[in-house]
Chain A
Amino acid sequence: MQDITRNLSSRRDLLSMTGKTLSLAAVSLVIGREIKTASAADLSQDIAILNAAIALEHEGIAAYQIAATSGLLQPAIVDIGVAFQGHHKGHRDILVKAVETLGGTPAIEKSLEEYARNIKAETLKNQTDVLRLALDLERGAANAYLGLIPSLGNDFHQIAAQMAADESFHAAILANALGEPIPKAALLFG
């Protein structure tokens, strides 16, 4: 404050001060606008990433549907699959709600036939094949969620981590059903 009064003593200083004031005002305008555009961009960035996660959950739900109706599984294994599918439906619902809240349009699911083709369902010959595929998808999904946390806005970090935890729970059960040994090194995912 004191400095300003002193600077006003000469005309040149006054001019330069005005210049500074103006440019400061201009800068804050620009920054203000940039902050606004940035947050809009961040919102649509989150929508895009969350929609990819919805697509992932759609595929997971379909994969368990295909598995449960394949006739390749023992009833007890079908029950496990149905429970896991329920978790994936829960994830989907949460993600759909999040995308809608952000003003986006949630990704829609493809046909069951298309999912069957994409995951090469025709190559599944027995229960072990099905369990292997499920394990691959769940392990991949756990890693996928962990890997996209840093790209998501802070608001979604915890939910993405929770979903990664659910997928790793599924992976653990499936690996155990397949008789896989417990991995020795820490940080099993991510």
Chain B
Amino acid sequence: MKRRLNIMLYVCAVLMSGEVFANDAAKSEGTVPMQMISEGDSVPPNAVSDEQRVKNEKLYRQRCGACHALDSNRIGPRHRDIYGQKAGSVSGFNYSEALQNLDVIWTDVTLDEWLKNPTAFAKGTSMGFRLRKASERKAVIQYLKSLSRYSE
């Protein structure tokens, strides 16, 4: 009993000290800095800094990683080289009719629309997951682009 009281007192002390609930919204992972695209000739247009790439990859893992992998078909199709390709064209994946019939090439614009609301973009698709934040869509699209040989 006494021990439990001590623990409670400790918890209260921690709470009051503000350590646990420090107002730290600025550090939220949801914010992704602006895309860095080099226009220089020597650097491919889809080049991103290493730091940005690590951030994009982490975000991709957290948002898409439950269903997608780069090199294997899981709940959704594999993602390497998907950017710049026609929708519904990964071999060995069992697409919905909606995706099979979707006459779209995956680009910055089409991916953004898709991720905003896939079931509106292709009614009947089995991907219901929406990525609400524009900054996150941008980061994830940048990541997919960096992993595709069709990104030019």
Do the beta carbons of B126 and A143 come within 8 Å of each other? Answer: no
A-side binding surface: helix, strand, loop or mixed?
helix
Do the beta carbons of A56 and B65 come within 8 Å of each other? Answer: no
Q: Is A44 an interface residue when CB atoms closer than 8 A count as contact?
A: yes
Q: Is A150 an interface residue when CB atoms closer than 8 A count as contact?
A: yes
The 8 A CB mask of B113-126 against A (1 = contact, 0 = none) is: 00001110001111
Task: Kindly list chain B residues whose C-beta atoms are within 8 Å of the C-beta of A187.
Answer: 28, 30
Chain A contact residues (Cβ within 8 angstroms of B): what range? 20 to 34
Do the beta carbons of B123 and A118 come within 8 Å of each other? Answer: no
Using a Cβ–Cβ cut-off of 8 Å, how many residues does chain B contribute to the interface with A? 36
Task: Kindly list chain B residues whose C-beta atoms are within 8 Å of the C-beta of A49.
Answer: 119, 126-128
Task: Kindly list chain A residues whose C-beta atoms are within 8 Å of the C-beta of B22.
Answer: 184
Q: Which residue of A lies closest to B63 (CB)?
A: A143
Q: Is B72 an interface residue when CB atoms closer than 8 A count as contact?
A: yes
The distance in angstroms between the C-alpha atoms of A42 and B72, with both chains bound, is 30
Q: Is A82 an interface residue when CB atoms closer than 8 A count as contact?
A: no
Q: Is B134 an interface residue when CB atoms closer than 8 A count as contact?
A: no
The distance in angstroms between the C-alpha atoms of A78 and B140, with both chains bound, is 34
The distance in angstroms between the C-alpha atoms of A55 and B68, with both chains bound, is 12
Q: Which residue of B lies closest to A60 (CB)?
A: B66
Q: Which residue of A lies closest to B64 (CB)?
A: A140
The 8 A CB mask of A53-87 against B (1 = contact, 0 = none) is: 00110010000000000000000000000000000
Do the beta carbons of A140 and B66 come within 8 Å of each other? Answer: yes
Q: Please provide the chain A residues from 88 to 132 with a CB less than 8 Å away from any CB of chain B in the complex.
A: 117-120
Do the beta carbons of A150 and B75 come within 8 Å of each other? Answer: no
Do the beta carbons of B63 and A147 come within 8 Å of each other? Answer: yes
Q: Is B29 an interface residue when CB atoms closer than 8 A count as contact?
A: yes
Q: Which residue of A lies closest to B119 (CB)?
A: A151
Q: Which residue of B lies closest to A46 (CB)?
A: B128
The distance in angstroms between the C-alpha atoms of A182 and B20, with both chains bound, is 8
Known A48-B126, A59-B74, A151-B128; contact A185-B28, beta-carbon cutoff 8 A: yes
Q: Is A168 an interface residue when CB atoms closer than 8 A count as contact?
A: no
Do the beta carbons of B73 and A139 come within 8 Å of each other? Answer: no
Least Cβ distance of B102 to chain A in Å? 14
Chain B: residues with CB nearer than 8 A to chain A? 20, 22, 24-25, 27-30, 61-67, 69, 72-76, 96, 98, 117-119, 123-132
A-B contact pairs, 28 of them (CB 8 A): A41-B123, A41-B124, A45-B124, A48-B124, A48-B126, A49-B126, A49-B127, A49-B128, A51-B126, A52-B76, A52-B126, A52-B127, A56-B66, A56-B75, A59-B75, A136-B65, A143-B62, A144-B66, A144-B67, A147-B129, A148-B129, A151-B118, A152-B128, A184-B24, A184-B27, A185-B28, A185-B29, A186-B25
